[in-house]
Structure formats: structure tokens, C-alpha cells
Chain A
Amino acid sequence: MTTPAPALPARLAEIVEEFAELEGADKLALLLELSDELPALPPGLEAGDMEQVPECQTPLYLTVDASDPTSVRLHFQAPAEAPTTRGFAAILHQGLDGESREAVLAVPEDFSAGLGLAQTVSPLRLRGLSAMLTRIKRQLRAAPGV
């Protein structure tokens, strides 16, 4: 069930592997570290212009810049009071920002199973992560000029 899917971009595969090697509290520590590292939005971009992900238990906004299909840029915004959501966003940010459109679209919907977070974080909370990926892909497919 936790076999990593073959098609993951290198950095995302690395993150999945890091999580898979850790247990319980250490998994949470890694998620917290990632959460702390989620960058602020670049100047000129505001949450109001972004898509909200209602499946997350706390407000999360994301937007995809696919103007260069060889290097897709991902932007996320979530409040400090939502570190789990921020951590999920950071997994996708660090794992996929700068990848090609094709590479992002090829990420399996269920890649998060490989993180082994279901027990530590709960399957319900993990839905937020899947929902983020789904919406990123949807924005990519709808991006103009493709």
C-alpha cells in the first residue's frame, strides 16, 4: 500500500521517502519543519485572487502559474494557526514548484499514501492534501494557451 509510485518528480519522491522512514512524532516534526518553511506569497498576489480549497479544515488558497509549461509555479497561502494545512502545502510546494506541466499532471492522485501519515495525522485530514493536488491539476488543465 505504501509503495512509492514510480512517476514522482525527484524532489517530491525525496520528501515521500523522508516521511516514509520516520515514525509517529518524528513525522509530525518533519511536517512542522516544512510548515515553517512555506514561503509567503510574492508581492502582487493576494488570497482574494486565488482558489480556495474548502476540503481543508482551515482556509487554504492556492494558485498555479503555468505561463511557462516547462516550469510551473505554485503559490499557497494558509494562516499560521493551520500548520498541518501549511505543511501539506509545503510538501507540494517543495515537491512540485518548478516542475513541468506534464510532470505535475502525472503525479498519482494517491501519492500521499506513501507518506505514511494516515495514522499520525488521520485519513480525514489527509483529504486536504489530495484536494490540493486535484485543484492544482484542474487549474493546469484549464490554463490558457495549452
Chain B
Amino acid sequence: MPVAPERNERFAAYAHPERLVSTDWLAEHLGEPGLVVLESDEDVLLYETGHVPGSVKVDWHTELNDPVTRDYVDGAGFAALMSAKGISRDTTVVIYGDKSNWWAAYALWVFTLFGHEDVRLLDGGRTAWQAEGRELTRDRTAVTPSDYPVVERDDTAIRAYKDEVLSSIGRVPMIDVRSPAEYTGERTHMPDYPEEGALRGGHIPAAASVPWARAAAEDGRFKGRDELTAIYHDEAGLTPEGDVIAYCRIGERSSHTWFVLTHLLGHTSVKNYDGSWTEWGNAVRAPIATGTEPGSP
């Protein structure tokens, strides 16, 4: 049985307030039947240094990705993973993580590919929990494996592949959520030091630059709806009903933006291009624009 959503004034203006929980709510509901708390971090060891009591770790690299192909796990793999985390199909999953919830949002997006219905983010993530001096423990969480059905992954609604992106240039609004230096292409590689990067710098032609961090307030929590509307609608010109494609470097920061557009602003057709710049910037003949202007398609 899912757990009832939090009723919080602070979330009320968002399109889908039930997708967020506050640190207060989480502290009150820890250990409640039907709730599983997941930590999803960039750093694979951070959970081990101390985590929310009773939470379980999920790792984007070693668990959500297929170990061989550059892709996510398949239906059977996801079912096995969920079972190992004690998650059933109707479990309420609350995800939190480091780096303003990048990896938590990424995990939430992957859960959505499998249609897991009730998955929420802890507003402010690990940083907020820690900043409030709340308990973190190194105790291992005992998990009772659950039954989780094999559900085929559905990539059609919220995931974009390179070919689709290519044919969408000039037709579908795109937002590049990387830092300005990555967008312009000025960031160069130092000789002999391969970064987790690409052979070419710049952005997809006509993509607008809206760095992901603009959606986050100083304390790492999401900005209010009015501020988000000003950034994504008034400034970037997106419309809630229209298609949007978001990308970054490997799809994690753009998952954060995907969450903002879909769940906080109520967009109905946002796709995350998870191949992102590590695919585009390495692909032969993929068109690229450099500089601060989006460029013509």
C-alpha cells in the first residue's frame, strides 16, 4: 500500500506536489510500512559514510545501468533490483541524494521508464537533511526481498535517442542544462588528460542554455513555481503542452530539469536525451553550434 502524499503549503503551487516530500515529513514517516527510502549519489561510497536511518542505497552506475551495453537495465534486471531493495510495485519510494538530487532525479527518471507509480524526491536532498542536523547512521539496513513484477521498460514517452534528437533540431525546443562553458564549447581539454567528455565542444544547434542549477535555491531545494515559470516559460520560451528535449553530459543533470518541467511545472511531453553530450560530441557529423548563441538549425 502506498503512503499518503504529504500536504505541504510549500509544495501546493507545483503541478504535482505529491512528487515531493520535506525533511520533516520524511523524519516522521521513516520505518512506515509501504515506504522505502533510497539514497542515490554520484559518489558510490557516500551512503556508507552515513545515511538516513533505514534507507537503502541504489547506485546509478553499477545498478541502474546495464553492465555491458550503454543502456539501462531491462525489465528482468529492474525487477531483480527492486526485489533486492525490498520494493514492491505499490511501494512508495522516496529518493534523496547528493549534488542537489542530480542522481536522485536520475534514479526517479529511470523508475519512471518502468512505470513505477509512486516515486518522490526529498526536497533539498542529502544536503538539506544533513544541514538540519538530522540523524545519519552507518548501520546496515536489513532488507526483506520483495516480489516485483517484470515490467518492460517504456522509452517512448520520456527518453530521446540521438536519431530522434537529430530529426528534432529546429522543430522541437531543446534545452542544454550544462554549465555555460560547456554550452559555448570554450572548455578545452588539457593534453594527455582525457576527461569524461567529448571530442568536440559546443551544443546542439538551436538548443537554449538553461543550466540545471537555476531551478535550485541556495539551500538546494527547488525554487517556487513562479520563479521556475519565469525561467523556463518566460525566458526560455517553453510551453507546458509542447514537446521539449533536455540534455546534459550523461543525462543526470537533465533528469533534474526533466523533473522540474514534468512534475513541478506540469509539462506533458518532456524527454531526456540521456546519450547527451558524451554521445553527441563524439558522434561523426552530428551538427554542433559554438558560442553563446543557440545558432540556427
Q: If A55-B196, A119-B62, A124-B196 touch, does A31 touch B46 (CB 8 Å cutoff)?
A: no
Q: Assess whether B233 is interfacial by the CB under 8 Å rule.
A: no
Which of B43, B48, B61, B192 contacts A81 (CB under 8 A)? B43
B61/A124 in contact, CB under 8 A? yes
Residues of A29-88 contacting chain B, CB below 8 A: 29, 31-32, 35, 54-55, 57-58, 80-85, 87
Closest-CB distance, B71 to chain A (whole angstroms): 15
B195/A54 in contact, CB under 8 A? yes
A121/B44 in contact, CB under 8 A? yes
B42/A58 in contact, CB under 8 A? yes
Main secondary structure of the interface of B (DSSP, over half): loop
Which of B48, B67, B193 contacts A28 (CB under 8 A)? B48
Docked pose: A68 CA to B60 CA in angstroms: 43
Docked pose: A121 CA to B62 CA in angstroms: 7
Residues of A within 8 A of B49 (CB): 32, 35, 80, 83
Docked pose: A84 CA to B57 CA in angstroms: 15
A35/B45 in contact, CB under 8 A? yes
A122/B192 in contact, CB under 8 A? no
B46/A83 in contact, CB under 8 A? yes
Q: If A127-B196, A134-B193 touch, does A84 touch B62 (CB 8 Å cutoff)?
A: no
Residues of A within 8 A of B190 (CB): 54
B43/A84 in contact, CB under 8 A? yes
B62/A83 in contact, CB under 8 A? no
Residues of A115-143 contacting chain B, CB below 8 A: 119-122, 124-125, 127, 131, 134
A57/B45 in contact, CB under 8 A? no
Not counting A81-B46, A81-B98, A83-B45, a sample of 5 additional A-B residue pairs whose C-beta atoms are within 8 angstroms of each other reads A55-B194, A57-B196, A83-B43, A84-B46, A119-B67
